Amino acid sequence: MPAPRFPVISARDRRGRGPRGPRSLPGPLTPSGVPAARTRAADFERVVDRVAAQLRRHVGRELDSVRISVEQVPMVPADWVDDVPLSAQQAGRGRRPARIVVYRMPVASRIRGPIEAAGLVLDLLIEEAADLLGRDPDELDPRLR
């Protein structure tokens, strides 16, 4: 029997885009499935972690006790008509560490890509850390040295 002239494409590999559907997902029946897609939230958290690590290296041990986290949106009253905050900070009390929170959705609405995200997140972290530590923001900015 002669070989077919055209490559045979399975029903699940239409138009050469790779496997689709439940058979392509990782699981007991398909251990070599495709990796899960990254979410925008995970990408943003990665940017915040990278920028926070850069700021911690620059500032030193002063930020060791400060917890930096990401939340989706700030909790603001319904009658609040001013601008939505992009970040917030809270001083430590007792055993609770000081905390800086970056709000993902308000930041994401003001940027176009990951490079802008890193710059804006760095600006926010510098402002909040300077306020927490009682220092001038220019002293903490790694771009100015």
Helices (runs of H) and strands (runs of E) counted in the chain: 4, 3
pLDDT of residue 114: 82
Tell if the pTM clears 0.75, that is, is over it: no
Question: What average pLDDT does this structure show over 27-39?
Answer: 62
Q: What is the pLDDT of residues 92-118, one digit of tens each?
A: 888 899 999 999 999 999 998 888 999
User: Going from the N-terminus, what domains does the chain have, and what CATH number goes with each?
Assistant: 40-73+85-144 (3.30.2010.20)
**Amino acid present at 77:** P
pLDDT of residue 66: 92
Per-residue pLDDT band at 145 (split at 50, 70, 90): low
Please list the alpha-helical segments (H only) found in 68-110: 104-108
In eight-state DSSP terms, residue 124 is H
Q: What is the pLDDT of residues 87-99, one digit of tens each?
A: 999 988 888 999 9
Measured in whole angstroms, the distance separating CA 122 from the mean position of its chain's CA atoms is: 12
